[in-house]
Amino acid sequence: MKKTNNKWSQEAYIKAYRFAAERHKGQLVPGTEWSYLAHLSMVSMEIIAALNHETDMDGDLAVQVAILHDTIEDTDTTYEELLSEFGQRVADGVLALTKDKKIEKQHQMSDSLKRIARQPREIWMVKLADRITNLQPPPSYWTTEKMKKYLNQAELILDNLQSGNKLLSSRLNDKIQAYQSYI
């Protein structure tokens, strides 16, 4: 059900965080020695900041999907599990954010973006927040070609989803500009 004041609850946050902490345990942020939870904390922080500038958003949906967004893609979590633990909107949102590994790698992002476009704006916000978070200084072992590809993908995300959230789109645009200096 839509909430009018963007409210999210600490209990919903904690429930998702505990689930993600268990599922992602032992995983690190690529190129670092940080727990993968650092990534999830930063993505959910971007969402909470953006919710302050919006109306008519389901805050619990946005926050829970932010925390759970990599569980299907990067852990053994299934859609059905998310469905029974967190309900249909969260499960559908996470699924849309999950790359379909059965299709060719080069088409996985555009396929996911198409599925995200059919989801509520809260899910668009998570994709924007995810790429904002990932546009940090790249790991030293990345080639220029890989960085360029990553930047092109970020531009594709911004092109497709910028109407989803003003604050996040403007932050992603800033990160894209700043990333050029690493290449």
- Nearest residue to Ni ion, by Cβ distance, number only: 130
User: What span, in angstroms and rounded, lies between the C-alpha atoms of 32 and 30?
Assistant: 6
Using CB under 5 A as the binding rule, whether residue 130 contacts Ni ion is answered as yes
Minimal distance in Å, beta carbon 97 to Ni ion?
8
Residues between 58 and 87 that touch Ni ion (CB under 5 A): 70
Minimal distance in Å, beta carbon 131 to Ni ion?
8
Helical H runs in the chain?
10-23, 37-51, 59-68, 71-74, 79-86, 88-96, 105-117, 121-134, 144-161, 166-179
Which span (22-30, 46-54, 93-101, 129-137) binds Ni ion, by CB under 5 A?
129-137
Cα-Cα end-to-end distance for the chain: 44
138 CB neighbour count, 10 Å cutoff: 18
> Cβ(132)–Cβ(175) under 8 Å?
yes
Minimal distance in Å, beta carbon 2 to Ni ion?
26
Which span (108-116, 128-136, 139-147, 150-158) binds Ni ion, by CB under 5 A?
128-136
Using CB under 5 A as the binding rule, whether residue 46 contacts Ni ion is answered as no
Tokens 């531009």 -> residue: 155
Minimal distance in Å, beta carbon 39 to Ni ion?
6
Using CB under 5 A as the binding rule, whether residue 92 contacts Ni ion is answered as no
Minimal distance in Å, beta carbon 1 to Ni ion?
27
User: What span, in angstroms and rounded, lies between the C-alpha atoms of 4 and 40?
Assistant: 25
- List residues near Ni ion by CB under 5 A: 70, 130
